[in-house]
Structure 1
Amino acid sequence: MQCFMCGAEVANSKICYNCGADILLYKQIIYTSYVFYNQGLEKAKVKDMTGAIEALKSSLQYYKYNTRARNLLGLCYYQIGETVRAINEWVLSKNLQENDNPDADRYLAEIESDPGLLSKLNSTIKKYNQAIEYCKSGNRDLATIQLKKVISQNPNLLKAHQLLGLIYIEDGKFADARKVLTAAAKIDNNNTTTIRYNHEIKARLKESNKRHKKKNDVISFSDGNDTVIMTETSLRSMLDNTRTSLVNILLGLVVGLLICFFLVVPTVRSNMTDGNTQTVISLNETLAEARSENDALQEEIDKLKTSLSAFDNKQDVSTSYDNLWAAQNYYASGDSKTACEYIQLVTKDVMGEQGQIAYDNLYAELGPAMTEGYYEEGNAFYTEENYESAIINLKNVVDTDEKYNEGAALFLLGDCYRLTGDTDSAMECFNKVIEYFPNNKWGRQAKVYIAADDTELSAAEIGD
């Protein structure tokens, strides 16, 4: 330990023998800093990141030159997905202790060794901020889409998990909210925000169950050409009656069979011995009636299943029409990008004939904008080396227009296939690029890749 006045080394004394400064209180401050550091280390080992961060901050408040606490604080920030804060702590640690600081050197070297990491972080932060703006404006569907992209790029970003869970809670999707918050708890198992959201789910489920008991909503659905209107209680009562009738019929069939085996069959055998077959005919009629009753019951069950299926799709129908209406409004106001995001949320098959016609017309109008959006997303994923996601977006572009952007989309799709090991698909794309655009830069580059592939095949044949 060094004296805070003159920098001389001091041992266990209370006074610096070089300058005479009283260092007892100074020692107590440094020891307190290391006590908080040890607490933070223990909490970080059990993934209590919130507690670890608070303890490490307290450690640095007592002694800012505690580089071990600062480096560990950066690791805690990195664990919850806040990489920018982690880099700030490591850079500050390096500035405060330039020499003999191997942990900060190693962490910063790992960040610098991944050149695409900072651009990915920048993209993730922009999408997270955009999701917050969507939430403020009430567009929770678009916010959900953005947050799912953020989590796919940075799975440890705790705030993205929590915000997505909050959106699911507001939408009443409690199962999805539990799933997202469980993932957040694995990142930081003692985060107060995550715990508060889980308590909110339990409270809302309890409240929903109480309302459900008192609720008697009116339900309407189509049955052929007629519209049936009944209360939810009536529907449940009808289903209960159907189940009861089914059980009674099955019991009746069992009793009937037992009667046949123990009473009718012996009598039939006796009468057949005497040449009387009237009992056999009566038994056949009884069995035919039982089969007829069973068929009628099955038909009734099928009708009920059809009615319930129509009821289950009711929410999807209204949601699809709402999203179609929103897409039309955004397109009319000139915001084609947002219109494209809304129309992708529409389920066409559940709408009526007029709704499907309106969907097809708007989808045709938004075709170029959607293609451009897919191309931009695919190009961004390609730049970030996320080739699987790039293939999905670029394939949507190529399926619409193989010559899009003078073969750029087709070439990038082929290169993604090449980089993921799907050589046959890659060569197919490169050949099409050469066929359509033999003299532009994409065609020339495709020729280079095809020639390189042929060279590898020739070398393999010589080796064999």
Structure 2
Amino acid sequence: MDLKQEIRSFTPIDIEKLSQEKNVSENVVDSVKGYNKAIENLRTGSEDIAMIELKKVVSVNPDFYDAVNLLGLCYAYTNQIDKAQELFSRVADAEVDSVKAAEYLNYIGRGSASGKSVGSSKTVKSEAKPQKPAPKTKYAKPKQASNEEVQAEYILLRNLGLQLKKPSVAITINILSVICLVAAIAVFMVNYKNTNGDNGPDTVVNTELTAKYNKVVAENEKLKKDLNAANFQLKQVQLSSQLSQVSTLYGQYKYIEAADKLLAIPEKDLSADNKKKYDSIKANVLKNAANQLTIEGTSLYNKKKYKEAIQKLEKVFTLGTKWSFGDKALYTLGKSYVAANEPQKGAEAYNRLISDYPDSAYVKYARSRLQSLQ
């Protein structure tokens, strides 16, 4: 592997495109800028400055694995093998970029084991002496696995280990083991009973087996309950995270997005604590979302985008009814339907306005427009 060429294969990240993505913090953008500066410095031969930049990036964002890999290559290039191995191992233990990191680890491991420098020092070519062909032996040596095969096996075993660490997976495996054991005992009891009958000393053996069987069944039931409890707890953690996302969107004045995410949460599945949190934010989220939809719908109507206005204004009343601004939403909705050549639906909106908001200032205008539709 040519380390210098490998380092040059890293390319800068498009900052402008990254900045346009949602939920990208300034911290991430700054880290990417530092990463890009490091790549520029490496291309101009300023490895020391590049390494300083990369150290800053990795210290702030340790999960920025491209930066970690690149810093590891810089360490390897400057023959700081221990530091390089530490960084590559960190990436190899993560979920992403582990193939490259494992490849780098394998490479610098071979170099350090042979006592050769893997960095920037030049290698001296030696004249190859003709060697006698090795005598044929009766048994061929087993083929050694390639680097790719070793890396693939490493990743497979690591991912399997990560799965086995999950509580739900471990509990499921235990339950399956118990079920297999119960089935084996049941088959043994049936066969034993058919062979020996129910009389004599064998009855004592059957009694003991029955007791063991019942004990295993009880343990199996307990494991099932534990699994259900673990799954419920996991579900609540996920729902709590979704509620936190709703609160974050609400704090960012993204009321419509917050309402959509809130209504996607299955209310019946919430625990008492999560239900309390859900109820505490629901009213404000839906009210502000409905108000924002009314404003956007009115704006679209004024721009003569009637179909889009209808979509916004209809959604106002999927979030709730009897809004304080509902009369305005219904009046604009009626006008939008009429302008979109759907007078019947427009009349329905006007009639609903008159019925639901009899004291509204918009009522007389709605009646006037109804008369013009007749």
Question: Using CA pairs below 8 Å that are at least 6 residues apart, which structure has the higher relative contact order?
Answer: 2
TM-score, structure 1 normalization:
0.35
TM-score, structure 2 normalization:
0.42
